[in-house]
Each structure stands twice: as structure tokens, then as C-alpha cells.
């Protein structure tokens, strides 16, 4: 029984490794995209940063946001957006890409866990996201001598871990959605902008009008963003501290489970209906 478990685990690791390497190869096969990604991400950052500078008296936020600087607040908001785009445009679109390349059937026929396709892609994107974030941080330091400090590194790592779990779950859900709904771009855009506006990614939810704030508080990402920002900048939490930890853990684990279940259900349903490869 024990050796069977070990062989199952090592098979999963092998599948994951193969999927990761496949995605890495595909990524580097199009160098223009790689260069483009490394150029356009800091450009988005500087573009919005300049726009926000119009509102800044000195580099400080309102007192309700704790001892953080306006710049750091914006920087972490941008970091959340980079990571979230992983879920929507990276993980979610992986199935669609295979569908369009005509390789989805081969993949689903292989004796491998289907979620590994998505996890392999997630790992590759996480790696490139980390490189891009590191590169922007260095760029900011060399251009303006700006450093980004993290107040509570262990809590920050924990919150990033929870956030990534939720991203995998959400990405799996989105991947399932691409099997069912073909107009993925429009839905992806709507979700992406919804995330930027309603989850406190770029600005605190207390800026939003009261009824919309209640809606924000129903979105799990609101708490995960809030926890990461609290760990990094010491901002005031939305919920009492203990509650925020509990809600964040439940949100992350819950999204992961829901993502897996939803993906499997949609995939099974698509197999029955014969709609897996319809692009």
C-alpha cells in the first residue's frame, strides 16, 4: 500500500515536471512574447504610477491605511494584478490554447492526471511572474532609488502561499469555463477588471460606495489581498485579525477544492456531450 502511494506520488511529480517543461519550452519558443512581457509589464506600472502621482501631496497614504506609503500601496496592488493575471490569462487559458492548437484530445487521452497540465502551466507562470516582479523591483531601485520593504516576511510568505492556492483553484475553475464557454476573452476581461476594482487590489475598498463595499466583502480575493498587504505594509485589516486569518485560509482552501471539483465535473460533462475539442 505504502509503495503504491509512493509510486503514485512519483508519477504525479513526473507528470507535473513534464507539463512544466513543456510549457517552459513553448514559452521560450516565442522570444518576442518573452521580451514583450518583460517590456510591457513595467510600462503598465510606470504609466499608471505617473497618473496616480497627480493626486499625491507627499508620498503618504491616508491614516486609515496604516503606516504605508502611497507608492508601496500601489506597488503591491500591481503585484497582485500580475499574479491574478496568472490565474485568468495563464492557467485559465491553458485548456483553450490546447484546444486551439488541436492537442487537447491527445492530452486528455494520455494516462496522466489532467490537472497536471494546468499545474505545470501555473508553475511556469509563477516562475516568470516572480522574475518580472523581481526585475521591476530592481528597475525601480536603479531608476529612483525606491526600495520595497516587507514588514512581516513570514506572514507575507504565508499569505502569498494562500493566495497562490486560491489562484490555482480559480484558474482551474476558469479552465473548466473555457471548455464550456468559447468567448473566453470577454469573460476574462470582465473578471480581470472586476478584480482590480472590487477586491481592494489597487485601492482600499473603503474608497468604494457603501453598497459596493458589501459586494467586495463577498469576494474571497478581497481578504487575501488585504492579508498580503497587511503582512507587507502593516495596513489595517478589514476584519479583526483572527477572523481575517480564518477567512483567508478558508477562502484559499475552499477555492482550491471548488476549482478541482468544478474542472472535473465540467470535463466529464464535456466528454459525454463531445464538446471538449470544439473550438
Whether the Cβ atoms of residue 236 and residue 64 lie closer than 8 Å to each other: yes
- The residue within the footprint of other proteins, chosen from 74, 84, 223, 245 (CB under 8 A), is 74
84 binds other proteins (CB under 8 A): no
36 binds other proteins (CB under 8 A): yes
Rounded Cα–Cα distance for residues 268 and 27 (Å) = 29
> Of the ranges 69-77, 134-142, 157-165, 262-270, which one interacts with other proteins (CB under 8 A)?
69-77
- The residue within the footprint of other proteins, chosen from 73, 84, 107, 221 (CB under 8 A), is 73
For residues 192 to 231, the per-residue mask of contacts with other proteins, x marking binding by CB under 8 A and - elsewhere, is: -x--xx----xxx--xx-----------------------
Whether the Cβ atoms of residue 185 and residue 105 lie closer than 8 Å to each other: no
89 binds other proteins (CB under 8 A): no
Give pairs for 194-201: CB < 8 Å, separation 24+: 195/81, 195/84, 195/88, 195/221, 196/81, 198/222, 199/225, 200/225, 200/226, 200/229, 200/238, 201/77, 201/80, 201/81, 201/84, 201/225
Q: Which three cell numbers stand for residue 96?
A: 483553450
Residue ranges in contact with other proteins by CB under 8 A: 30, 32-33, 35-37, 39-40, 43-44, 46-48, 50-57, 61-62, 65, 70, 73-74, 77, 183, 185-186, 189, 193, 196-197, 202-204, 207-208
Amino acid at each position: 500500500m505504502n509503495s503504491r502511494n509512493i509510486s503514485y506520488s512519483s508519477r504525479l511529480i513526473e507528470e507535473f515536471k513534464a507539463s512544466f517543461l513543456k510549457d517552459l519550452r513553448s514559452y521560450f519558443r516565442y522570444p518576442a512574447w518573452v521580451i514583450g512581457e518583460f517590456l510591457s509589464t513595467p510600462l503598465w506600472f510606470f504609466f499608471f504610477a505617473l497618473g496616480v502621482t497627480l493626486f499625491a501631496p507627499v508620498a503618504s497614504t491616508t491614516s486609515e491605511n496604516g503606516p504605508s506609503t502611497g507608492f508601496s500601496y500601489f506597488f503591491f496592488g500591481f503585484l497582485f494584478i500580475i499574479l491574478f493575471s496568472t490565474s485568468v490569462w495563464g492557467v485559465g487559458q491553458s485548456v483553450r490554447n490546447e484546444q486551439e492548437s488541436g492537442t487537447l484530445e491527445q492530452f486528455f487521452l494520455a494516462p496522466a492526471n489532467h490537472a497536471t497540465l494546468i499545474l505545470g502551466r501555473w508553475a511556469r507562470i509563477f516562475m516568470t511572474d516572480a522574475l518580472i516582479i523581481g526585475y521591476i523591483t530592481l528597475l525601480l531601485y536603479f531608476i529612483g532609488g525606491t526600495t520595497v520593504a516587507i514588514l512581516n516576511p513570514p506572514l507575507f510568505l504565508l499569505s502569498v502561499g494562500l493566495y497562490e492556492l486560491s489562484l490555482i483553484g480559480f484558474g482551474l475553475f476558469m479552465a473548466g469555463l473555457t471548455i464550456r464557454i468559447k468567448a473566453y476573452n470577454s469573460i476574462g476581461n470582465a473578471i480581470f477588471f472586476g478584480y482590480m476594482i472590487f477586491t481592494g487590489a489597487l485601492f482600499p475598498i473603503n474608497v468604494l460606495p457603501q453598497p459596493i463595499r458589501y459586494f467586495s466583502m463577498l469576494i474571497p480575493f478581497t481578504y487575501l489581498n488585504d492579508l498580503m498587504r497587511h503582512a507587507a505594509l502593516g495596513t489595517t485589516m478589514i476584519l479583526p485579525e483572527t477572523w481575517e486569518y480564518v477567512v483567508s485560509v478558508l477562502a484559499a482552501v475552499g477555492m482550491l477544492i471548488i476549482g478541482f471539483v468544478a474542472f472535473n465535473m465540467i470535463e466529464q460533462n464535456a466528454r459525454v456531450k463531445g464538446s471538449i475539442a470544439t473550438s
